[in-house]
Amino acid sequence: MSDSRVALVTGAASGIGAATALALAERGLRVVLAVRQPHKANEVLAQIESLGGAATAVPCDVGDYASAQAAVQQAINAYGRLDALVNNAGVIAPIGLIDQTEPAEWAQAITVNLTGVYYMVHASLPHLLRSPAPSIVNVSTGASVRPLEGWSAYSASKAGAAMFTRSLHLEYGENVAIYGLQPGVVDTPMQGKIRASGINPVSQLTREQLDPPQKSASAIAWLTDHQPQDLRGQELTVRDQSLMSRISPNTI
């Protein structure tokens, strides 16, 4: 089942990250699950192994550059190469009006959601540039272009990450397939925190109104696998039916 390609997915213990790791494994890639607590990825690892795939979990705090470097190096130690990076790890907190948020927590959101993307890319690029067909997918959000009450840290950090995607494409797009993907509202643990906050319309959505994480995961896996030239450097969304129609109906 496995080919030689290796993908590293951050925040891969649950939600979109876990579903993406499985989707990539189903396409034959060997997967490195970069998570803060590797034991929490045991269920995902077992699922990949049951498919006949290869995967390993490594500790990674994306907001710490030394940790990001160490995670990438462990991927190289395990599999000898790196072909794809999926920057999925992120935080929604703090949720609240600006004057009611804690400055340290607000700054931490910037560190994880923006600086963490830079850290992972910076640590990965020397290895990705040695791949015959490297790719990077940064998991984005519609909140990067449309502010929502109570989400100032999340929206600002993700807006910065979206511009970083464009900057990355400008500098490395000739050699690396780079995309941003907006998943929309997805049934993940993060959505549980949003519902508990009771702030803004997104918190009022029921679980039945949310998309399964597999929808976004299959789009990420498709971008990683097919690397469409006409979509490179763009912020894409799963709500774009013209995009989703390009993905096999069996995967969405």
Which residues are identified as catalytic? 154
Contacts of 109 (CB under 8 A, 6+ apart): 91, 92, 93, 94, 153, 154, 157
Q: How far apart are CA 68 and CA 79, in angstroms?
A: 17
* Integer angstrom CA distances of residue 14 from 20, 51, 65, 81, 101: 10, 18, 22, 25, 26
Q: How far apart are CA 243 and CA 82, in angstroms?
A: 26
Q: How far apart are CA 169 and CA 175, in angstroms?
A: 9
For residues 90, 95, 98 and 101, what is the CA-based torsion angle, rounded to 10 degrees? -90
Within 10 angstroms of residue 205's Cβ, the number of other Cβ atoms is 14
- The one-character DSSP state at 149 is T
Sheet with 84-87: strands ordered across = 55-59, 30-35, 6-10, 84-87, 135-139, 177-182, 235-237
Element (H, E) at 198: none
The token pair that represents 227 in the structure block: 């690397």
